[in-house]
Every structure is written in C-alpha cells, then in structure tokens.
A and B are shown apart, each in its own frame.
Chain A
C-alpha cells in the first residue's frame, strides 16, 4: 500500500481521489443492480441536472473551506439569485441576458458581504453565513412577494438560456461545469489568490507576516464562492424551471459534503477540486438512486448526513495519525 502511494502516476492523481472514484463506481454498480434501467438516458440526464448546479455550489464552497471558513448560506443564496433575477425578468421584462447577469451579481454581493464580515469584522464564518442564509431567504420572499417564480420554457422567448444546460441530449452543462472545475483548479493551485487562500487556511499569521493582505484574499474566497452560487442558480433554473422562496438549505449541506468527501479539509489549507468534482458526482448519484428506488427525499437527507460525518471523521482521524 505504501509503495503504491509512491507511484508517481498515482501520486499525481492523488491516492485518495482514486479511492473516491472507485467508491463512486461501486455505488453506481450497486444502483445499476438494484434499479432496472438505471443506466438509461433519462436517469443519466436527470442526474446531470443535479450535478450542474450542485457542482458549482461545491466548487465555490471549496474555496471558502480552504481558508478554514465555512459558508452555510450558498443554498438559499442560490435560490435568492434565481428568484430575484427571475422575478425581475418576468415582472419588469428585462432581457434574458440582463437577468442572467443580475443572477450572478446577487451571488457575488452575498459572497462579498459574507467575506467582508468574516475578514474585516472578524465575525465567525459560521455565524455570518447563518445570518446570510436568513437574509437570502427573507430578501427573496420580500422581493417576490412570496410567489413562486417560473423561468421561461425552451420555446418561450428567452428560453435560449436553457441551452447552457443541454442542447437536445448533449450535456452542455456538464461540459461547462468540467471546464469551470479546471479553471478553479488552476486558480487554486497556480495563481496568487489560490496560493494565498490555501496559505492563510494553513497558517494565517505566518502569511500575514510575510506581507500579504490576508483580509483581502480571504474576502476574495467568499466572493468566488458567492459568484459560483449565482452561476449555480442559472443551472438550477434551467433544470427545474420553478423556484420557490424559503428553501435551499439542503443544498448547503450537500455541497459541503461533496467538498469534504473530496479531500478538502475542514481545518483549511488543503483543498482538491478534483475531489470536489467526484464528491459532487457521488451526491448526485445517491440522490438519483434514492428517487429511483421510490424512497423519499428524507432518506436522502439522512444518507447525505451520514456521508458528511464519515468524510469528516476520515479527514480528522487521518490528521490525528499524522500528528
């Protein structure tokens, strides 16, 4: 086992990533055996709907967790983005392109708010993101007067935005998500923001004393997270059309689960985008499998929770062994 880990190819890909990938295949196989027709196109396509929006949430929160922080607001923020922009689209007749920009901007603003509070006011991320979660829900309700917002169908004017998700049976959304993941990975590992985000997650004081503006970079992590939540909202709207105010909490947990499962450490300083991608696929797989088995959503919640606990436990105990 130790030798295997030293193999350069395996080292490059990451031993844990490979294990996780095998776990994913294993789960897939089980579902294929249990559920007739699980390999069929309809299941795959519906799974991809889920992967796209959840994937963007998970990519974003990876940056925040890398700083040693946490963001529990991304799910409701995603809903808030889709609601505000969708309502503006329907009621005020702005063009679709403008609505999409608004959608992303709302996410960016929330990210900026969270980041500013955490970095400059020293509010614990846990607290501020809980507050933001409620602000996001409240704001969306007030703005939409607590009505459900429906985004245009493909045939409607402005329905072109659905092409981001898929064109016929071509999973455009998945391709965009994978490209975004590559970009995120490059940002995290090969650029200044990524370097400082990981560094400050590992030892903030040492990075600050190297003459780095740690507050700024920490805030940027949250801004990236918020912006990606705004993008996630577009994919959510494209996949599910209607958005209802007051929901979204569940997706925080799933995104965080995907991220932690992928090997990003809750303590900060260690993150893997590849892991987050595989983690997202696993969560989407489980959700689809459970729905296909005609179990309720609640079962899925329980299973996700168990996965989070297991992933965090493995993360913490690996760390303990190291010390």
Chain B
C-alpha cells in the first residue's frame, strides 16, 4: 500500500428528509483495494457520488493528490482520473458495445466518427482484460452480467488513478467475478487506488486490503481485512451477528401436491425442452452459470416472452399463459433480476409500486383507496425494513438494495401462490438478506411455492429443497438438497462447456 491518494474529510450531505452522510471520513491509498461496507441505505453510493461530483456535498473537504479538490460533475472527475462504475447499469441499450464504451469521446475521422478504430480499440480492450464480448453487438442483447463487464471495461479504458466499483459483482457469475478479481489485482499492481463496494463477505476477504464500515450515514471505523473476522465486520455494520446455516434436508414432504408442472418448454434460443415440477411448499432452486437460460425459462413461463412450444399445468390443470397478465391471474409472480428495467417504476412512489400488481384490491368504486394503499405499503416497509422517509418517496431516491425490497413488496402484496424469485437478494445487505430468507421460509410454510434462481452457491445450498441445474438452455439434472454440494452442482452446470 502506498501513500494516500484521496482523502475525504467530514463529508456531510442531506436530501429532503434524509441525512444521507453525517460527517464521514474516508481515504484511499495507492495500490490498495479498499472495501466500503454497510447496510442498504447506509450511504455508500452517496459518498462515492459526492466524490465524483454527481452530488454536491453540503460540507467537508476532498483532498486528491495532495490538493483540495471539488469535482462539479462526473466528467471533471473522470478527466482527473477518478472513475466510478455505478451500481445501476448506465449503458444505452440501443447502441453497440463499442459505441457505449466510447460514448462522448468517440475517435474522430474528419467530420465523422471513426467506427473501425472504435471497434478495434474495444476489441483490444476486451482481449487485454480477457473478456469475451463482441464490440459490435447491441448492448441490450447482452446479459446483465456482460453489460456489467462492459461498464468495468469502459472504466478501465480511461486513464484512471482511482476506480470505484459500486457493487460490481451483484450481476456477475462466479466465473466473471474471478475474471474481475484478476483485473483488479492487475490494477492494484499498477498502483491505482480502488474502492470496492459489496455486500458479499467472502469477496471482501478475498480481494480487499482494508474495510471501512458505514452505518446510517455515519463512519463507524476502518479495519485491516487480514486482521479482522467476518463477525467483527458484520457486527460493525448491523450491530448483531447473523448465522447462515445451509439447509440439511428438504423441508417439503415428498408427497406434497404438484402445483406447477412444465413440460417441454421451448422459447427463444435459450430455453430447450425444459421440464420440471414444483410442489406446494417447496423452494426449488435453479442453479447454473449466468446465461444458462434460467431467466429466459422464467420469463417464458411467466408469459413475458413468447414460447414456441410446451405445456404448463397449474394444480393439474393445463393453462395457457400468453402474457404476464395471464400468469398473474393464475397466481404466479415474477421478481426480475434486472430491477431497474423490469422491476420498479423508478419515477413513481414506493406506495404506487407496492400495489402495482394488485391495484384491484385497493379500489373503492372507481377510486383508489389511498389510505389502504398507504397502510399496506407501510406494512411492507416495516416488514422488509425498507429504508425510505415515507411511502410517498419516489423509488428513484432509494438506495439500490431498498429498491429491490420494493419489488419484493409488490409481489408479496399480490399474494401469489407461485413466486419466481430471480436473484432475490442481489444487492441486499447481510441483515436484510437474512430477513428475506426468513420471509421465503415463512412463505413456503404458509403453503406457497417458490422458484428461486440464484447465481450464489451459498444461497442455493442454504434455501433450496431441491435444485435444478441448467446449462446452455437445458436442464442438466436435479439434485435433492440432502445430496447437493457445490461440487456436484458446478459439475452439472459446466458439463458441456469444458
């Protein structure tokens, strides 16, 4: 670790009704990876946005390379070498990968843009980082994980001195995270200062040198990663220790009735002859690498994308699901992995989002019963510990993890019998994660059934009663939780790749 390259002192920032940062101190040294941790809404993203000039601080000072500095916008920070990879993806879906990477700094040729050079440079960048992405592909055609890798590549392509990663791993597969760590280690060797925000304890242990913990907008402390334990850090974060126990055996009786049966489902390129059954009161884990076709299966099942063939039975009856509307009518709820695009309506309030899927229950004649709506929304805010000033707040003003809780609230309010949770704890802090696990267990004990798609092995092993493993659009096997290990799951998930 080298000398301090960046120091933030007594940073203070308020939003209407929220004291987001309360005199926070933070510094980064050259050649270190500095973890920034804290619960959802602790103020991590806000602190980094203040640093990069996206938000204006109310008070405090920032010293960068020995000089007191204030960036007025992200461009200024970028030009000075402070680059941020945002938690929420910021790519333009209709442009190609290369166009996105060079957005706003396109290489010129005469009056136009030098497309060839742009594509060539992107390709070199990806080669250098050992990422497999075609620069000519349209951004919106990539998986969330790939898009995230593009964001990272874009950040690195700048001449950076400090790079901030705001929850980069939330959307990545284990393999992609490995790649990311190789990139980060390389950056570290080149004496860059790196800020790494994540809720995943094992990553923190693996890649970071120091950990700074925030809680409720205040600075709690900084530890050397090597000298601290996981419990110690969690304790600083939430003030209590949470135990994660993997499930030993299925909690669902083998003779429980089958609520959902999917037969030979085919859809798009990524869903091939998928068949499976879901029992009442069961959590069925869907494991596999990102791009294995799990989300596509869920979307086709839910009617969000068209299917080519396949039959679906709900409670033994054949049903025709052509649109999300049909699916919801049959009691299926789908929590998408991409909350910003498919989950929340960011421009509307928490309450409106909560009742989005079940508005009919809150109608009094023609009118919406706003009191009842506020009550139910408040109830879920309390139950999920969502951090928001009130239920009227626009969802766009919530932190990433709290937005996720709003989507969960939406489906809980709808009271579906079959819930598809696609990466339900993405971007959710340890405390809240445990709450969501508890909630899922409570839901199944009430007789609901859950399909849980997750790329986190610990989550799959901890929550599932049974695990379906997918690879390249096909189901490669089914494992009962009593026999599941991360090895035999990975083995199935990668069988035809290597």
Contact = CB atoms under 8 A, between A and B. Distances in A.
B334 interface: yes
A233 interface: no
A269 B367 contact: no
Please indicate which of the listed interface residues B334, B352, B359 has the most CB atoms of chain A within 10 Å of its own CB: B359
A202 to B, nearest CB: 4
Interface in A214-258: none
Interface residues of B, number: 32
A210 B410 contact: yes
A195 B344 contact: no
B120 interface: no
A263 B343 CA distance: 26
B367 A186 contact: yes
Nearest to B332: A211
B371 to A, nearest CB: 12
A206 B368 contact: no
A209 B367 contact: no
Nearest to A194: B368
B368 A192 contact: yes
A109 interface: no
A210 B348 CA distance: 14
Contacts of A209: 302, 304, 324, 334, 336, 342-343
A206 B367 contact: no
B366 A202 contact: no
Interface in B308-327: 323-325, 327
Contacts of B334: 209
Contact of B368 (A195, A203, A205): A195
Contact of B325 (A5, A192, A212, A269): A212
A205 B339 CA distance: 11
- Residue among A202, A211, A322 with the most chain B CB within 10 A? A211
A212 B342 CA distance: 13
B133 interface: no
A140 interface: no
B346 interface: yes
Interface residues of A, number: 26
A6 interface: yes
Nearest to A204: B345
Given A211-B325, A211-B328, A206 B344 contact: yes
Contacts of A195: 352, 359, 368
B104 interface: no
Contacts of A207: 345, 356
B356 to A, nearest CB: 4
A199 B349 CA distance: 10
Contacts of B329: 211
- 9 smallest CB-CB distances across A and B, nearest first, come from A211-B328, A202-B347, A210-B357, A269-B347, A203-B345, A210-B356, A202-B345, A211-B324, A190-B367
Interface of B: 16, 302, 304, 323-325, 327-329, 334, 336, 341-348, 352, 356-357, 359-360, 363, 366-368, 370, 396, 410, 414
28 contacts: A190-B367, A190-B370, A191-B367, A192-B363, A195-B359, A198-B348, A199-B345, A199-B348, A199-B352, A199-B356, A202-B345, A202-B348, A203-B345, A206-B342, A206-B343, A206-B356, A208-B304, A209-B334, A209-B342, A210-B356, A210-B357, A211-B327, A211-B328, A211-B357, A212-B324, A213-B323, A270-B347, A322-B396
Given A206-B343, A269-B347, 13 more contacts: A2-B16, A192-B363, A195-B359, A196-B359, A202-B347, A203-B345, A203-B347, A207-B345, A209-B334, A210-B356, A211-B357, A212-B325, A322-B396
Interface of A: 2, 5-6, 186, 190-192, 195-196, 198-199, 201-203, 205-213, 269-270, 322
